[in-house]
Amino acid sequence: MEPTYSRSIVYYIYSMEKTAGKRRQKPQRNQQKHATYNNTSHLISMSHCHPILKYTSHDSFATSLVSVCSQFSRGVYAIFGFYDKKSVNTITSFCGTLHVSFITPSFPLDGTHQFIIQMRPDIKGPLLSLIEYYKWDKFAYLYDSDRGLTTLQVVLDTAAERKWQVTAINVGNLKDERKDEAYRSLFQDLENKKERRVILDCEQDKVITIGRHVKGYHYIIANLGFVDGDLSKIQYGGANVSGFQIVDFDDPLVSKFDQRWEALEEKEYPGADSKIRYTSALTYDSVQVMTEAFRYLHKQRIDIARKGNNGDCLANPAVPWAQGVEIERALKQVRVDGLTGNIQFDQHGKRVNYSVNIMELKNNGPVKIGYWNEVDKMAVTKSDVFPNDTTGMENKTVIVTTILEAPYVMLKKNADLFLDNERYEGYCVDLAAEIAKHCGFKYQLKIVGDGKYGARDAETKIWNGMVGELVYGKADIAVAPLTITLVREEVIDFSKPFMSLGISIMIKKPQKSKPGVFSFLDPLAYEIWMCIVFAYIGVSVVLFLVSRFSPYEWHTEEYEDGQIQTNESTNEFGIFNSLWFSLGAFMRQGCDISPRSLSGRIVGGVWWFFTLIIISSYTANLAAFLTVERMVSPIESAEDLAKQTEISYGTLDSGSTKEFFRRSKIALFDKMWTYMRSAEPSVFVKTTAEGVLRVRKSKGKYAYLLESTMNEYIEQRKPCDTMKVGGNLDSKGYGIATPKGSSLRTPVNLAVLKLSEQGVLDKLKNKWWYDKGECGAKDSGSKEKTSALSLSNVAGVFYILVGGLGLAMLVALIEFCYKSRAEAKRMKVAKNAQNINPTSSSKARLSITGSTGENGRVMTPEFPKAVHAVPYVRPGMGMNVSLTDLS
Q: Read off the pLDDT of each residue in 510-514 and give the average, rounded to a whole number.
A: 70
481 marked as binding residue: yes
Q: Which of 98, 812, 883, 858 minimizes the C-alpha distance to 564?
A: 883
CA distances from residue 440 to 432, 436, 477, 747 in whole angstroms, order as listed: 12, 6, 14, 10
Determine how β-strand 218-221 pairs with β-strand 197-201.
Answer: parallel
CA angle, residues 520, 523, 525, in degrees to nearest 5: 110
* Single pTM value for the model: 0.46
Question: Minimum mean pLDDT among 77-91, 378-392, 511-525, 752-766: which range?
Answer: 378-392
Q: In angstroms, rounded to a whole number, what is the distance separating the alpha carbons of residues 143 and 107?
A: 13
Q: Helix or strand or coil: residue 461?
A: coil
Q: Which of 295, 291, 324, 293 minimizes the C-alpha distance to 307?
A: 324
Would the pLDDT of 94 be above 60? yes
> Mean pLDDT across the chain, nearest whole number?
77
Q: What is the pLDDT of residues 9-54, one digit of tens each?
A: 554 544 444 433 333 344 455 555 554 444 444 443 434 455 666 6
Q: In angstroms, rounded to a whole number, what is the distance separating the alpha carbons of residues 382 and 130?
A: 15
More confident site: 793 or 164: 164
Share of the chain above pLDDT 70, in %: 73
pLDDT of residue 596: 83
Q: Read off the pLDDT of each residue in 768-793 and give the average, rounded to a whole number.
A: 65
* Contact between residue 345 and residue 117 where contact means Cβ atoms under 8 Å apart: yes
pLDDT of residue 671: 92
* Contact between residue 880 and residue 873 where contact means Cβ atoms under 8 Å apart: yes
Q: In angstroms, rounded to a whole number, what is the distance separating the alpha carbons of residues 482 and 469?
A: 13
Q: In angstroms, rounded to a whole number, what is the distance separating the alpha carbons of residues 101 and 94?
A: 10
CA angle, residues 133, 475, 412, in degrees to nearest 5: 130
> Which helix (H) or strand (E) element contains residue 176?
none
488 marked as binding residue: yes
Q: Read off the pLDDT of each residue in 802-824 and give the average, rounded to a whole number.
A: 82
* Contact between residue 337 and residue 253 where contact means Cβ atoms under 8 Å apart: yes
Q: What stretches of 44-201 adopt beta strand conformation (E)?
A: 51-56, 76-80, 101-104, 116-118, 138-143, 165-170, 197-201
Q: What is the pLDDT of residues 450-460, one digit of tens each?
A: 888 988 887 77
pLDDT of residue 268: 73
In the chain, where does the domain assigned CATH 3.40.50.2300 lie? 11-17+47-120+275-351, 123-245+355-380
Q: In angstroms, rounded to a whole number, what is the distance separating the alpha carbons of residues 32 and 81?
A: 11
Q: Read off the pLDDT of each residue in 491-506 and give the average, rounded to a whole number.
A: 91
Q: Does domain 123-245+355-380 have CATH number 3.40.50.11900?
A: no
Candidate ranges 170-179, 224-233, 461-470; pick with highest mean pLDDT: 461-470
In the chain, where does the domain assigned CATH 3.40.190.10 lie? 390-498, 507-512+631-730
390-498: CATH homologous superfamily?
Answer: Periplasmic binding protein-like II (3.40.190.10)
Name 783's Cβ contacts closer than 8 Å, sequence gap at least 6: none
Q: In angstroms, rounded to a whole number, what is the distance separating the alpha carbons of residues 247 and 254?
A: 8
Q: Which residues pair with 722 in a beta bridge?
A: 508
Would the pLDDT of 57 be above 80? no
pLDDT of residue 764: 92
Q: In angstroms, rounded to a whole number, what is the distance separating the alpha carbons of residues 682 and 685?
A: 8
* Contact between residue 400 and residue 157 where contact means Cβ atoms under 8 Å apart: no
Question: Minimum mean pLDDT among 91-95, 405-409, 457-461: which range?
Answer: 457-461
Q: Helix or strand or coil: residue 243?
A: strand
Confidence of residue 513 (pLDDT cuts 50, 70, 90): low
* Contact between residue 51 and residue 8 where contact means Cβ atoms under 8 Å apart: yes
Sign of CA dihedral 246, 247, 248, 254: positive
Number of DSSP helices (H) and strands (E) in the chain, helices first: 25, 32
Determine how β-strand 702-707 pairs with β-strand 503-508.
Answer: antiparallel
* Contact between residue 808 and residue 814 where contact means Cβ atoms under 8 Å apart: no
Would the pLDDT of 506 be above 90? yes
Q: In angstroms, rounded to a whole number, what is the distance separating the alpha carbons of residues 526 and 142?
A: 76
**DSSP state at residue 358:** E
- Reported CATH class of domain 11-17+47-120+275-351: alpha beta
Q: What is the pLDDT of residues 584-603, one digit of tens each?
A: 888 888 777 888 888 888 88
Would the pLDDT of 75 be above 70? no
Write the secondary structure of 69-110 as one string of H (helix), E (strand) and C (coil): HHHHHHHEEEEECCCCCCCHHHHHHHHHHHCCEEEECCCCCC
Confidence of residue 721 (pLDDT cuts 50, 70, 90): confident
CA angle, residues 680, 686, 687, in degrees to nearest 5: 130
Q: What is the pLDDT of residues 280-301, one digit of tens each?
A: 889 889 888 988 888 888 887 7
Helix, strand, coil percentages, rounded to 5, for the chain: 45, 20, 40
Confidence of residue 656 (pLDDT cuts 50, 70, 90): confident
Q: In angstroms, rounded to a whole number, what is the distance separating the alpha carbons of residues 642 and 449?
A: 35
> Which helix (H) or strand (E) element contains residue 474?
none
More confident site: 870 or 594: 594
Architecture of domain 507-512+631-730: 3-Layer(aba) Sandwich (3.40)
> Which helix (H) or strand (E) element contains residue 57?
none
More confident site: 634 or 289: 289
More confident site: 880 or 158: 158
Q: Which of 483, 507, 404 minimizes the C-alpha distance to 446?
A: 404
More confident site: 764 or 274: 764
Give DSSP secondary structure letters for 379-400: EE--S-STTT--TTGGGSEEEE
Confidence of residue 843 (pLDDT cuts 50, 70, 90): low
Q: What is the pLDDT of residues 314-345, one digit of tens each?
A: 666 777 777 788 888 889 899 999 999 999 99
Q: Which of 685, 725, 699 minimizes the C-alpha distance to 646?
A: 699
Would the pLDDT of 867 be above 50? no
> Which helix (H) or strand (E) element contains residue 771?
none
Q: In angstroms, rounded to a whole number, what is the distance separating the alpha carbons of residues 10 and 98?
A: 15
Q: Which of 345, 271, 274, 246 minimizes the C-alpha distance to 37?
A: 271
pLDDT of residue 130: 92
Would the pLDDT of 163 be above 80? yes
Confidence of residue 443 (pLDDT cuts 50, 70, 90): very high
646 marked as binding residue: no
> Which helix (H) or strand (E) element contains residue 363?
none
pLDDT of residue 2: 44
161 marked as binding residue: no
Would the pLDDT of 629 be above 90? no
Q: In angstroms, rounded to a whole number, what is the distance separating the alpha carbons of residues 804 and 810?
A: 10
pLDDT of residue 621: 79
